[in-house]
Each structure stands twice: as structure tokens, then as C-alpha cells.
Structure 1
Amino acid sequence: MADVRSEEQKKIDEWLPITSSRSAKWWYSTFHNVTAMVGAGVLSLPSAMAQLGWGPGVMVLVLSWIITLYTLWQMVEMHEMVPGKRFDRYHELGQHAFGEKLGLWIVVPQQVIVEVGVDIVYMVTGGRSLQKVHDLVCKPGDGCKEIKLSYIIMIFASVHFVLSHLPNFDSISGVSLAAAVMSLSYSTIGWAASASKGVQPDVNYGRTDETDLGVVFNFFTTLGDVAFAYAGHNVVLEIQATIPSTPEKPSKGPMWRGVVVAYIVVAVCYFLVALVGYLVFGKDVEDNILISLQKPTWLIIMANLFVVVHVIGSYQIYAMPVFDMLETLLVKRLKFKPTWYLRFITRNIYVAFTMFFAIAFPFFGGLLGFFGGFAFAPTTYFLPCIMWLAIYKPRRFSLSWIINWICIILGVLLMILAPIGALRSIIIKAKGYAFFS
């Protein structure tokens, strides 16, 4: 199929971050996907297991892994389903499935909520981990002054004011590789240090709430927490866009190989941390498994430093599609010239925006369960299935049709139940929330 783009359109596409480079190797997709998936939230999975209990906990972990791997496969397959065309962005696939305008309205708001929300949470997470390192290395009793979280978030953000000017996914591959290694490292510290501690003598696997209603609401909240551990679908088409493709060798081959390796790493990290952490500490496990471990101090410092490096890479992975959206809007719609200073101003404003929100709402992670419920569940669990049904139109009651409808029903239930649980959690914890704390 001939390239029908004008010279000007080609120049713009060569400038935009998603379409500027097509030279990525299959293993780039592995560490980009690991970096996007294995967030610092993996350290809270033992706590999620404590809310769910052994049976439901294992079932939710395994089901989430299987369903999200299936929907990720669908997206990889749909990337080049029209000969000679690539759906380089999630919303482009949405527009093909639902129509030009409706596709934009369905996909873009949800994708933006996920990506900007995750970036704000990573600002807070990076700041908190740095603060933890400072407090462990330099104790107040030794004459050290306490540093406010706001200032530490600014220090963390200063890294992004530099890294955000790397033009595209290929240029951040080194940062992403370091982040993927770090996520594997702190996950290993989480489960290995727990295992070496051994099952605690007074371990209890009973209920975490006294009331039946509390147990039910905690279950809803935790469903959301586990589900949100799989947010990588929001950047998968953009990652695949960087892999070279020809009719003889389409990009879906190397991309899928990278995804499978990434998902094996995800399974190792998630299942070991969740199951070993819960086995050792039972229902008394802290929200963050590193807090339950407490000692040795040097290991906790190292794990927190690994978290900092990881969220630096993750922030960039989720920011890149946002940069692409902003720059596309400015250059294609508002007719700005594609210059380095336009990129410089746009990206600095975005980093400053996420930094300000992180400082103003250091409890944003608690709110993300509520807002994210409306966006994480669709983009990850059932939007790919709806697109598959709309585009491929499998025969009614065929295996493909049944599997997709099961995923859609489970995804919609998740979208409804997770925010209900999160809203109760917000109301209970609201007294402890403080702006600019």
C-alpha cells in the first residue's frame, strides 16, 4: 500500500515521539512492558492477599494475569490488522473500531486519566521512598533535620525536568532497562527477605475487619488494587509502534515475544511477593511489605533506592504517550511549528503540573483507586475485547465470542465494584488526608 502522506505530514510524524523511531528490538518491548507493569504497588500485594484470603486472593491474582495477557495479545494482533496501516496509538485503534469522533471520546479521556494519574502517584512514591532513605541514613537523633515530603518531591521531579527531553521511546530504553532491573530487584528483596524471616510464630490468616460489611468493602477495594497492577495496556500500542515492520515480518511477532517474557517476569514478581509476604506475616502484614521487614536497615535502604530508580523509568514510560498527545494537538490541530523549544516548554509544563499535584495531594494514591476504577478496568480488561468484537465480528457463541464476553462482564463488574470500595476507603481515611503535607 502506497504512502499517501504529504511531505509535511511525514516530517511531523518523524518529529512526534511515537512515530519518530521504528528501530526497536523485541527485547525493548520486554523491559518497557516490565517497567510499565511492575510498579511499586507490587509491594502492597501481600496486604491485598490479607484482605482477600488464600482462596479468593490466589484466584484474583491468577485470573487478572490470564485476562490481561489475553487482552494484551488482542492489542498486539490489532496493531496491524489493516494491510499497510499501523495503529500506533490506542485512540487510533479506538477510532477504527468505534468511528472517528466516538473512538476519541471513548479512549482518550480514560487513557489520560490512567497515564497522568500514574505519573502523579509515581511522583509521590518516588518522594516517599527518597524520604524513607533519608530517614534511615540520617536519623533525627543524630542531629539530622527532617525534610518535608514536598521538598523531596521537588528533588525527585528535578530528574524528570531533564529526562523528559529525551525525544522518544528508543531514547529512554536505557532508563527503562535500569527501571525493569530495579523492579525485579526490589520485588526479590520483598519476597526473599520475608522468606528468610520465616513464618511468624503468631501468624494469623483470619479476617482483617470485624464486620461483614467491612470485609465486603475491603474485598471490592482490593479487587481494584490487584487490577490496577496491570496498567501496561495503556502504552502497549505506542511501544509496538517503535518496532520495525514489513509485510513479510510484521511487528506483532517480536512484540509478542517481548510481551511473553515480560509477563513471565511479572508473574514471578507478583506471585512470589504476594504469596510469600502473606504466608510469613498473615493478616498483620503492612501496606508495604518493606515496612513489615524493618531490618536489616541497609537492605531496606537499598530496596527503597531501587524503587526510586524504577519509578523514574516508569514515569517516563507513561509520560511519553501524553507528550505525543500534547505535541500532536499543538502541531497538527493548532498548527504550531515542530520545534525543540515547543517540546521544551510543553514537557516542562507537564512535569511541573504532575509535581504540583503530587505536592498538593500526597494522598493521591488513595484517590486513584476511585478515579482509576473508571479508567483502568476498561482500558485493560474489556475495551480490547469490545474492539475485537466490533472489528473481527466472531460468530455468536463461538469460543472467541464467549471468551470476550466473559472478559467484558468481569471487567464491567470490576469497573463498578472497585470505585465503591475505594470511595468507602477514602471516606474512612479522609480525616488523615492533608493538602501540601
Structure 2
Amino acid sequence: MDIEAGKDIPSRDPAELDDDGRVKRTGNVFIATTHIVTVVVGAGVLALAWAMAQLGWIAGIAVMVLFACISVYTYNLIADCYRYPDPVSGKRNYTYMQAVDAYLGGKMHVFCGSVLYGKLAGVTVGYTITSSISLVAIKKAICFHKKGHAAYCKFSNNPYMIGFGIFQILLSQIPNFHKLTWLSTIAAATSFGYAFIGSGLSLAVVVSGKGEATSIFGNKVGPDLSEADKVWKVFSALGNIALACSFATVIYDIMDTLKSYPPENKQMKKANVLGITAMTILFLLCGGLGYAAFGHDTPGNILTGFGFYEPFWLVALGNVFIVIHMVGAYQVMAQPLFRVIEMGANMAWPRSDFINKGYPIKMGSLTFNINLFRLIWRSMYVVVATVIAMAMPFFNEFLALLGAIGFWPLIVFFPVQMHIAQKQVKRLSLKWCCLQILSFSCFLVTVSAAVGSIRGISKNIKKYKLFMYKQ
């Protein structure tokens, strides 16, 4: 329960409390499903058409469906580990890391934290890249509309990244950002807005008969595409799809909203099936329609790659939606990282005024509580993330790297190992071997996607001068 300073909290009727002493949760399968869909519908959706172009119709559809099936199975394993040791009556695990610690112990807990917070940090860099590309795309849409589609309309991303970073420094100083639910709600709504705008514009191209040629095997090897480049781009495409499927970082946050009966794991399993099914249908629509519209020339992001020029206002509006979504999503991802560092500093130096003391500052009728450590640490973090984004502003490759980092450890490895520990699956039994084969296969996918994306980033860095990239 939240406790407000200086106020007495009246005692509650035990009937109003859950088994852990917190106010009864009221969430249900429908609400959990909407949370899942809201989380997975992000900027990564706009890269799925490019991923489909690399893989082709057969492999593209097969990979999306296969990843969906794996996700349903492993997220159901995660759902069973919400309570420890019994999945129905055991003690609640409020976070993914807490569940890993309960089932697998301290070393795995540290490994999980490293992957989890590393991915959160990477996502903030990715959101900075995405927002700047969309801001430039808005300017380009206006430029093309005024000067014609053949006009030179290339602009540096750097000023927009710097502006986005300054705005995030201001937002990062809000200590209890989770209370600003209005921003999260707007961000979620805009994510659907730009996904449907991108799909709708692609559908309009296909219906008008102006769609480009496609292939069941994806982009063909030829003068403009070597066999090696084809393989590396396929690996990056796997990373793009893997990123779009990920909501492991928030699954326990979703589960912690569910009412206690029926058991949370049973409700979450239904929500997983419904949410991932809806997610897969949306992915197939976005990826398939985008590929059908642009064929072998499918851009990395269907709203910023300018396969669409008109109606310019709709293209610009889609990119405005992306920027709004990125503003809110950045803080959703950064706040857990801020919090864990500040909690660690507080535990290490509990008597330090620099770390723990707040200084009230009045601005008219508003009072802000400024903490020097929070001000400096969070500002430095945003600056570093912005500089990294300016040095590597490559949308598809960076998204593929983020997808690779999180796919195997968070979606497959930890769920499989927790399930083995929970059910005490015997080593070398048939089930144990099948689970390890699944884990190892997904590990190979993660390694391939990571290597492909890193190669793409290094190749682009050699092609473009650092901090001089223009879109």
C-alpha cells in the first residue's frame, strides 16, 4: 500500500486485503490481455515489413508464427512461477528478478539483473534513435510536399536527439513518474495510432495496384546484394521480430494486477494466448502489408523510409504519434534502472546528504523536491544514452541487437530453468532434453541475430562519419 508522508492510513477490513496484506487486486483476463497488446505494439512493429522483405513470405510468416508459439509456451512457464514454491498458493514474486532468485538462486539473479537492466538501458538508446528519425521524417514530409518528391530533403538527426535528450532530462527528475498515468495512457493510444496508419497506407498502395514485386524467399541475391549480406540481413530480421515479441520485463507487473481467484497463473495463461494471438495477427498485417506495398525496396521503417509521400499530413501525424509514444515509453523503461541505482546508493551511503537529502524549490504555487544525486546521476545517464544514439543512429540494426539481447535469456532460458526447478524435472529425462534443445535452439537464434546486428552497425559506422549521419 502507498503511504503518504504525514498522513495516517486507516486500518482496512481484512476482507479488503489480499493474502500478502495489499489491497485486493481486481484485474482480469481482459485487462491483462490489453496490457500485453499495449506493451508489444511499439516502434518495432514498423520494422516488421523490412524483416519480412529479408525473409520472404514463407520464412517470414513461419518465423512470426513460430516465435509466437514459443512465446505462448515460455510465458506460460513464467506465469507458473509468479508464486513460490507452489504456483497457486505460494508466496508472490513481484518482479521477474525476484522469481529468478527464488527458483534459481543468487548467481542467476545477478545474471538476470544484468540482462534485464542492460536491455532497459539499450531500449532508451533505441527510443532516442527512433524519436529523432521520426522528427526528421516530419520535416522531410513537409519538405517533399513543398518542393516535390525529387527534392534534396536530408537533415541531421543530431539536433533532434539533443532536444529529445534535454526533454528527457527534465522528465527524469520526477521521482514518482509512475503516478503520471495520463502520459502512459496517451503513449499507449498513439502506439496503435501509428501502427494502423502504417498498415492503412500500405493497404491503400496494395489495393490501388501499385504494390511492388515480392518473393517467397525474400530479397534476391544479385548485383546489389551479396550472399553474405543476404545472410546477415536475415539474422538482423530475426532480431527485429524477436524484439517485437518481448514483454518479459513487465509480465509480473501485469500479473500483480490480477485478482486472486481464479489463480493468477491460470488467468495469465489465458491472457498470454489471447494477447500473443492478437499480437501475431497485427504483426502479420503490418509486416505483410508493408512488404506487399514496397517489395524488395521495403524501408527499415515504413513511416520514416518514405515509401509514402502523400497524404503528407497523415505521414507526419504517424510520426508525431511515434514521438509521443517514445517520450512516455523512455521513462517507463528508464525509471526501473534509475530506481535500482538510487536504492543501491542509499544502501551503501545511508547517511549521505548528497544522496538522500531533498531540497524544496518553489516555482509559483508548485514545490519541487530536488535531490542532488538524482539530478546529477539521471542527467548523466540521459546524456550518455543520447551520445551513443548520435554515434549509432541505425534503426533496424539497433532494434535487432535489443531483440537479440533479450530473446533467449528472458523469454526462453530463465523460464525453462525455473520450470525445471519448480517441477523438479529429472536431468536427462525426455522432457529435460526437449527443454534444453528448445533453449539451445533459441540461443543460436539470439547469437545469430546479435552478430548480424553488430555487423550491420559496424558496417554503417564505417560508411558514415560518427555524428555526421543524415537521414
Alignment TM-score > 0.5, same fold: yes
How far residue 261 of structure 1 moved from its aligned partner, in angstroms, is 5.0
Secondary structure of the corresponding residue to residue 447 of structure 2: helix
> Corresponding residue for 2:18?
none
Q: 1:370 to 1:124 in 2, by over 3 A?
A: closer
Query: Distance between the aligned counterparts of 2:179 and 2:136, measured in 1?
Result: 29
Q: 1:408 to 1:202 in 2, by over 3 A?
A: closer
Greater fraction helix: 1
How far residue 129 of structure 1 moved from its aligned partner, in angstroms, is 0.7
> Corresponding residue for 1:269?
282
Secondary structure of the corresponding residue to residue 53 of structure 1: helix
> Corresponding residue for 1:386?
417
| Contact 1:115–1:318 (8 Å) recurs in 2 | yes
> Corresponding residue for 1:183?
191
Q: Deviations over 1:240-278 (max 9, x none)?
A: 44x2665x5655466556555543442233110111111
| Contact 2:235–2:448 (8 Å) recurs in 1 | yes
RMSD over aligned Cα atoms: 3.4
How far residue 371 of structure 1 moved from its aligned partner, in angstroms, is 6.8
Gap runs ≥5 in structure 2: 1-20, 359-368
| Contact 2:79–2:269 (8 Å) recurs in 1 | yes
Q: Does structure 1 residue 278 correspond to structure 2 residue 281?
A: no
Match 1:46 to one of 28, 37, 49 = 49
Gap runs ≥5 in structure 1: 1-18
Q: 1:157 to 1:34 in 2, by over 3 A?
A: farther
Match 1:64 to one of 44, 67, 77 = 67
Query: Distance between the aligned counterparts of 1:20 and 1:129, measured in 2?
Result: 42
Q: Deviations over 1:65-91 (max 9, x none)?
A: 121232222222212233553322222
Q: 1:50 to 1:133 in 2, by over 3 A?
A: same
Match 1:156 to one of 158, 161, 164 = 164
How far residue 221 of structure 1 moved from its aligned partner, in angstroms, is 2.1
| Contact 2:138–2:320 (8 Å) recurs in 1 | yes
Query: Distance between the aligned counterparts of 2:114 and 2:48, measured in 1?
Result: 28
Query: Distance between the aligned counterparts of 1:146 and 1:23, measured in 2?
Result: 51
Q: 1:167 to 1:403 in 2, by over 3 A?
A: farther
Q: 1:147 to 1:60 in 2, by over 3 A?
A: closer
Q: 1:119 to 1:347 in 2, by over 3 A?
A: same
> Corresponding residue for 1:193?
201
Query: Distance between the aligned counterparts of 2:147 and 2:310, measured in 1?
Result: 19
How far residue 316 of structure 1 moved from its aligned partner, in angstroms, is 2.4
How far residue 117 of structure 1 moved from its aligned partner, in angstroms, is 0.4
| Contact 1:331–1:338 (8 Å) recurs in 2 | no
| TM-score normalised by structure 1 residue count | 0.82
For 1:24-423, list aligned pairs within 5 A: 25-26=27-28, 29-30=32-33, 32-82=35-85, 83=89, 85-100=91-106, 102-137=107-142, 148-165=156-173, 171-198=179-206, 199-200=209-210, 203-205=213-215, 207-210=219-222, 211-241=226-256, 243=257, 251-252=264-265, 259-260=272-273, 262-290=275-303, 291-335=306-350, 337=356, 341=371, 343=374, 345-363=376-394, 366-367=397-398, 369-370=400-401, 373-394=404-425, 401=432, 404-423=435-454
How far residue 49 of structure 1 moved from its aligned partner, in angstroms, is 0.9
Q: Does structure 1 residue 430 correspond to structure 2 residue 430?
A: no
How many aligned positions are there? 414
Query: Distance between the aligned counterparts of 1:383 and 1:43, measured in 2?
Result: 28
| Aligned residue type for 1:269 | L
Deviates more, 1:218-227 or 1:49-58: 218-227
| Contact 2:408–2:439 (8 Å) recurs in 1 | no
> Corresponding residue for 2:364?
none
| Contact 2:212–2:295 (8 Å) recurs in 1 | no
| Contact 2:211–2:294 (8 Å) recurs in 1 | no
Q: 1:28 to 1:313 in 2, by over 3 A?
A: farther
| Contact 1:204–1:284 (8 Å) recurs in 2 | no
Q: 1:434 to 1:390 in 2, by over 3 A?
A: farther
Overall identity of the aligned pairs, in %: 28
How far residue 51 of structure 1 moved from its aligned partner, in angstroms, is 0.8
| Aligned residue type for 1:195 | L
How far residue 32 of structure 1 moved from its aligned partner, in angstroms, is 4.7
| Contact 2:239–2:402 (8 Å) recurs in 1 | no
Q: Deviations over 1:331-376 (max 9, x none)?
A: 3344364866255554444333323332343337635645763444
Deviates more, 1:318-327 or 1:294-303: 318-327
Query: Is the radius of gyration larger for structure 1 or structure 2?
Result: 2
Query: Distance between the aligned counterparts of 1:398 and 1:276, measured in 2?
Result: 44
Secondary structure of the corresponding residue to residue 289 of structure 1: coil
